Structure 1
Amino acid sequence: MGYQLAREAFSEIFESIKKKYDIWAPVRKEGEGTFSEIDVIRYDKIEDLDEIEWEKRSDYSFKESLLKIRETIFYFTEDETIVPKEQEKDLLIFLRSCEMHALKRLDEMYLKSGKEDFYYARMRKKAKFILMGCKESCETGFCVSMGTNKSENYDAYLKLKNNRVCLDVSDEELKKYFKGMPEAEVLPEFVQANLEKVELPKHLSKESAKLPIWEEYGARCIGCGRCNFVCPTCTCFTMQDIFYKDNEKAGERRRVWASCQVDKYDTIAGGHEFRTKKADKVRFKVLHKIYHYEKRFGYPMCVGCGRCDNVCPEYISYSNLINRLSKEEKRNEE
């Protein structure tokens, strides 16, 4: 059901919505980028629609609104462990289409792949999602190639048009806030073409793991892990036990974001490390995104948001790597 409201009328409804929901959206952080004169766009709680960055894709994904970078999973003493209480308010999160598809990947891994993850599940059950349209393609995104440029499974769609707020609301609970408001047809805006185009390899062979491009890209990679941290579908984490200074037998266990590209991430008991070379780490990440995950779940893990291309300090283009991999496979089939 669609609505068109004046900004003043919507502001009153928005105040009511905030009583029940913490609202997260991409926000421009002035001077908080790599250097003091560079801005960064990342997710944060908002109080007004004017705080939202509507035009540019966020540098960091929505993931940190559902999965904290550092999350205490329990407190411990000599005698007991205590799980932190869940937050009181529900969540309302603004997403773009590619991120709606990324949410599907997170659900697959945290809720359906083995036993349900307790911490993700309780946050996920409290969350609803508002789709943000994309008038134009971002510079490095390739969502059209990945089939993630369109999405229908949103709870609401919202856009600003002059001094009006246009909404398409599908969630019954959210519809209650707009009862009696003037109805109108509102259609989401979706990107139809990207500047960047990617062709996924259709038939990867075992020989693809031995291709020289892995050594080439591995020689450039510095193992910083930034590509993983901005990715909306990466889920790697590590554990930290924090002991309090005033009582060394008490503390908390935290789940902390981690990266498969960082040295020692995959070190196990006895000091064995599965992938010591940067080339092996790059190969593992790429094939997991476009091959291993798809083999298990039926669709690629990557959603084509293009953030990894933007954030890499060595200018490694993930999309270019995929296209080169496709060309190598075609050459091997000839």
Structure 2
Amino acid sequence: MGFILDKISADKFLSGLKDEYYIFAPKRFELGGIYSDTDAIRYSEINSFDEIVFDEKSQYSFKETILQISQTIFYFTEDQIKEPNFTCRQKKALIFLRNCDLHGLKRLDDMYLNNGPEDYYYKKLRDAAEFVVMGCENSFENCFCVSMGTNQSDAYDLSIDKQEDKYLITCKNSKLNNILLKAGASSSDVVPKFVTSNNIQVNIPDNLSNDVATSKIWDEYDVRCIACGRCNFVCPTCTCFTMQDIFYTENGKVGERRRVWASCMIDGFTDMAGGHSYRVKKGQRMRYKVLHKVLNHKKRHGEQMCVGCGRCDDICPEYISFSNSINKLENAMKEVTSNE
């Protein structure tokens, strides 16, 4: 069902949501960017529609709204282990996100819910969330969602497009539908917006295989990459974490174990007992990441892990382009097949 909200009815709609929802959306933080004179756009709780940034891409994804950056798994003493009294948010979360991010949510579900036993902590927050897809009228810089087939999705509770001082909405959720009607929304035929072309296009070779791991294309990243891990942290589909024990006392027998976001690109991620470490070179880490995103995940779950949001390209301080890395795979496959 389609609706049109003006500024007044939009504010009423938001007020009607607050009793049942925490509302998260891309929000501008002035002078909070990676440079001293730049802003940051990242997810935060919002209190008005005016706070939502519709016309720019957020540097960070929606991921941190349903994946805690640091999460306590259990507490321990000398002779006892206790799980935390995990309680979900007091209210549900309503999360505004782009089509590519909505596809990213499906990838997170694949990893945390469909890749073995369900992750209890993720599922709690996931089940308590509903999603509003924000239409993209034009492609943003570095986006390649059309190539990845993630430029459109219908797996939302509500869609919203801003048009000057009005909001065009389609709603699939009966509860949200009732709140819209109470807010004075007027019915109308609405078609959610989505981009149909990007300036950047990628091509994943049909014959791509793990043989490409022996290509020399990965060697350049030994020098270029500085192993900061930013690309992983802004990515909506990266799910790696590490475990940390936090000790409360000097004897090291009382404390808590936490799982904390981690990155396959940083030093120490593959360290093992005995001092051994896999993927010591940065090019090896780049190889692992690229093939995980555009090859191995698809083998298991039927779709590419990368959703083409381009945030990794946006954030990299060394200007390493993930889309360029994908486009180099065709020549890399020619290289390895010619060496056979």
Q: TM-score range by the shorter chain?
A: over 0.9
1:183-198 equivalent positions in 2, closer than 5 A = 183-198=187-202
Return the alpha-carbon distance in structure 1 between the equivalents of residues 296 and 215 of structure 2.
17
Partner residue, 1:176: 178
Q: TM-score, normalised by structure 1?
A: 0.95
Q: Is contact 2:161–2:169 with CA below 8 Å preserved after alignment?
A: yes
1:1-334 equivalent positions in 2, closer than 5 A = 1-78=1-78, 79-83=80-84, 84-179=86-181, 181-244=185-248, 249-330=253-334
Query: What is the one-letter code of the residue matched to 2:121?
Result: Y
Deviations 1:297-328 (A, max 9, x none): 11110000011111111111111111111233
What is the aligned-residue RMSD (CA, Å)? 1.8
Query: Structure 1 residue 252: deviation in Å?
Result: 2.5
Query: Structure 1 residue 98: deviation in Å?
Result: 0.4
Indicate the SS of the match to 1:255: strand
Return the alpha-carbon distance in structure 1 between the equivalents of residues 9 and 228 of structure 2.
47
4+ aligned runs moved over 6 Å, structure 1: none
Q: TM-score, normalised by structure 2?
A: 0.93
Indicate the SS of the match to 1:88: coil
Query: What is the one-letter code of the residue matched to 1:150?
Result: Q
Query: Structure 1 residue 76: deviation in Å?
Result: 3.5
Deviations 1:42-88 (A, max 9, x none): 10000011111111110011001111211223333443413232221
Indicate the SS of the match to 1:105: helix
Structure 1 vs Structure 2: percent identity of aligned residues? 49
Q: Give the count of matched residue pairs.
A: 334
Return the alpha-carbon distance in structure 2 between the equivalents of residues 247 and 209 of structure 1.
46
Q: Is contact 2:145–2:308 with CA below 8 Å preserved after alignment?
A: yes
Indicate the SS of the match to 1:300: coil
Return the alpha-carbon distance in structure 1 between the equivalents of residues 304 and 262 of structure 2.
21
Which segments of 5 or more consecutive residues in structure 1 lack a partner in the other structure? none
Return the alpha-carbon distance in structure 2 between the equivalents of residues 163 and 293 of structure 1.
42
Return the alpha-carbon distance in structure 2 between the equivalents of residues 103 and 176 of structure 1.
26
Return the alpha-carbon distance in structure 1 between the equivalents of residues 69 and 173 of structure 2.
29
